[in-house]
Structure 1
Amino acid sequence: MLVTYPEAAHWPIDPDRLDLVEEFRRQPRGPHGDELQKLLHRLRWAGDPDQPGRYVLIVTQPGKEWMLGRLPRQRGRPIELMRNHVFTSIAEAEWEVFKLRWEAVTGRTLPPHLSEKLV
């Protein structure tokens, strides 16, 4: 069940909580524990005013293919499509977005054993 946490946009992320990263990596589509849900909410809604918009997935073929995109900073402008980032697995697509959002919000890349593609 999706729960909205109004305070999650300001929920502090501990970049050392790699257990939450591992939990997401194991089950990118859920179910997720309370702390991971708060983390995901923060990653989905946090924005850095010095960076382009948030990373998103665009469905190019329903249930078959997704493309990475970036929302514009200004509402109403076109979404930046990253045509070289196309996925045929929703789990792989969600994992890629998670890694990019994690780095954008924490300023840290994930360790190599966690940053690899899903198998």
Structure 2
Amino acid sequence: MLVNDPEAAHWPVDPTRLDLVEEFRRAPRGPHSDALQKLLHRMRWSGVGRRHVLVVLEPNRRWMLARMPATRGAPIETFPNRVFTSLAEAEWAVFVLRWEALTGVPLQDEKPSP
């Protein structure tokens, strides 16, 4: 769900809010609490760490991790060694990278809960 709160892009991320991490891990596609929606909005739209994204290799079958370029119009950086056959695993990998970029605190890059 899209957050239309203009302050969400500046929402302070508290690295101790591991409850939000677990909420995302349990239900990466939602529904999400208000706090998790704000966190995801911040992760998706902050320029911190050159955002990681997913590139669709085969619709609904395979995704590759990539990173947006620092300069608009430059090619994205792809990571061919990080290909996923589960969208939940792919989204979890991106969440982990974005969390660390925003908080400076690494999460264990484990597979999401079923």
Give the alignment's TM-score, normalised by structure 2: 0.93
**Conserved? CA contact 1:69–1:82, under 8 Å:** yes
User: What secondary structure, in the 3-state scheme, does the structure 2 residue paired with 1:84 have?
Assistant: strand
**Conserved? CA contact 1:59–1:65, under 8 Å:** yes
Match of 1:88 in 2: 85
| Aligned pair partner of 1:116 in 107, 110, 114 | 110
Match of 2:35 in 1: 35
User: Alpha-carbon deviation of 1:102?
Assistant: 0.1
**Conserved? CA contact 1:5–1:41, under 8 Å:** no
Match of 1:79 in 2: 76
Match of 1:56 in 2: 53
Give the alignment's TM-score, normalised by structure 1: 0.89
Match of 1:2 in 2: 2
**Conserved? CA contact 2:3–2:41, under 8 Å:** no
Unaligned stretches of 5+ residues in structure 1: none
Letter of the 2:5 counterpart: Y
Unaligned stretches of 5+ residues in structure 2: none
Match of 2:97 in 1: 100
* RMSD value, Cα: 1.2
Alignment length, in residue pairs? 113
Q: Deviations over 1:59-88 (max 9, x none)?
A: 110010100000001000000011110000
User: What secondary structure, in the 3-state scheme, does the structure 2 residue paired with 1:29 have?
Assistant: coil
Q: Percent identity?
A: 66
